[in-house]
Homo-oligomer: A and B are copies of this chain.
Amino acid sequence: VQKAVTLSDIGKEVGLSVATVSQVLNGKSGRYSKVTRGRVIEVARNLNYKPNMAARSLKTQKTLTIGLVVPVLSMELDEVEEICASKGYTLSLAVSHNDPGRQHDKILELRQKHVDGIVLVHPRKDCKAVEQLRAEGYPLVISDVAVNYPEVDTFLIDLKGSIRVAVQHLVDLGHHRIASILSQSDSHYSQLRYKYWKEETVNRGFDSYEDWCFPLERMPYPVAKSIYHSSYQSARMFLERFEKDDPLRPTAIMAITDRVAMGAIKAFEEAGWRIPEDISIISAEATEMGRFCSTPLTSIEINHVKCRSEALIHLISLTSGEDKGSRPARRTFGLELVYGQSTSRPCFL
């Protein structure tokens, strides 16, 4: 454990006061002679001076740190860290596991550590902590999905659109008996998708959205993470209920993500059903994997990376006080249908 060099160390070395050294190093212009400036900077470098962030924070009330609260860590967050770093911020991480209590606590802890602002990735709804921070005017941005936070700046993916486009694709192919596999209770993200699914099917006059919605059984952290297996089980339920040659059975399934689609496909293949001949499966949320599994998935590409990056950039502009736009800021990002081979015209018409 090394003793760090301070402003006063530099001051001693060059025979100047701490104040002057500080001024020079912080680039306050015109407050020093060219020669001292040179000496100070040189000595600072030689001594390998690094400002003590704790002291600086105490004085400036800034930490140059951004808090990030996510339900779970993923590769899609790399970009966020990258942007933080490029702007001189450090990333303080908190994982909520979709647990409302955890989320609440993590947010408050981050605030207490005086991060300069917080990015919230699809938080659960009605979080007291969020409302509190907003009321305090604390820099805060929500990414991906936000419900019941009318006053908070939000950068959203088009969740409703993802369901709509998925269903529309199936309808375009001629399907009108469509089932789904999705979670109804896990995160708010999931609840929303269920809601949109319901609206979408009801609006189209389809039969029982409820009866044909196969829920994913999800266990809370840390018990189970296997979304694949949950989906596999849901598909088995489907198979227990419908015979392949039943002309009134669903001819297509909207799986809520690629992993859900894969878990389901496994069950169907085990039962001797072919994809897409016997049943079409579309995923409402694409991953790279979906393009490389045996039956490439037809799916909806959602640009999470872009959404979160923009959210972060906005947050940083907030903390820098360059908030030019009208409040609250709102923005929604687009989607793209990725054509795979897991969907085709229905087996029955």
**A residues apposed to B, CB below 8 Å:** 1-2, 50, 52-55, 57-58, 63, 65, 68, 72-75, 77-79, 81-82, 85, 90-95, 97, 106, 109-110, 112-114, 136-138, 221-222, 225-226, 228-229, 232, 259, 262-263, 265-266, 269, 288-289, 291-295
Q: Tell me which residues across on chain B come within 8 A of A77, comparing CB atoms.
A: 73
> Nearest Cβ in chain B — how far from A173, in angstroms?
22
Are B293 and A54 in contact, CB atoms less than 8 angstroms apart?
no
Among B65, B79, B221, B294, point to the contact of A266 (Cβ < 8 A). B294
Query: How many copies of the shown chain assemble into the complex?
Result: 2
Q: Tell me which residues across on chain B come within 8 A of A293, comparing CB atoms.
A: 262, 266, 293-294
Known pairs A90-B94, A259-B292. 19 more at Cβ < 8 A? A52-B58, A52-B114, A53-B112, A54-B54, A54-B55, A58-B58, A68-B93, A73-B73, A73-B74, A73-B77, A74-B74, A78-B95, A85-B109, A90-B110, A93-B93, A232-B292, A262-B292, A262-B293, A266-B293
Are B75 and A72 in contact, CB atoms less than 8 angstroms apart?
yes
Among B74, B92, B225, point to the contact of A91 (Cβ < 8 A). B92
Are B138 and A1 in contact, CB atoms less than 8 angstroms apart?
yes
Among B1, B225, B232, B265, point to the contact of A75 (Cβ < 8 A). B225
Q: Tell me which residues across on chain B come within 8 A of A95, comparing CB atoms.
A: 78, 81-82, 85
Complex Cα distance, B73 from A82, in Å, reads: 11
Complex Cα distance, B80 from A95, in Å, reads: 10
Are A269 and B294 in contact, CB atoms less than 8 angstroms apart?
yes
Among B72, B78, B85, point to the contact of A106 (Cβ < 8 A). B85
Are B54 and A114 in contact, CB atoms less than 8 angstroms apart?
yes
> Nearest Cβ in chain B — how far from A321, in angstroms?
11
Give 8 pairs: A residue, B residue, CB < 8 Å, sorted on A: A54-B57, A73-B81, A79-B222, A82-B95, A85-B95, A90-B110, A91-B92, A263-B292
Q: Tell me which residues across on chain B come within 8 A of A91, comparing CB atoms.
A: 92-94
- Chain B residue nearest in CB terms to A105: B85
Q: Tell me which residues across on chain B come within 8 A of A110, comparing CB atoms.
A: 90
Among B55, B79, B109, B228, point to the contact of A90 (Cβ < 8 A). B109
Complex Cα distance, B91 from A225, in Å, reads: 22
Complex Cα distance, B221 from A73, in Å, reads: 19
Given A225-B288, A289-B228, A289-B262, A112 and B74 contact (CB-CB distance below 8 Å): no
Q: Tell me which residues across on chain B come within 8 A of A259, comparing CB atoms.
A: 289, 292
Complex Cα distance, B293 from A259, in Å, reads: 10
Complex Cα distance, B138 from A232, in Å, reads: 48
Q: Tell me which residues across on chain B come within 8 A of A136, comparing CB atoms.
A: 1-2
Among B54, B81, B138, B266, point to the contact of A63 (Cβ < 8 A). B54
Nearest 5 A/B pairs, CB to CB: A54-B57, A294-B294, A228-B292, A54-B58, A81-B95
> Nearest Cβ in chain B — how far from A1, in angstroms?
5
> Nearest Cβ in chain B — how far from A63, in angstroms?
7
Are A75 and B78 in contact, CB atoms less than 8 angstroms apart?
no
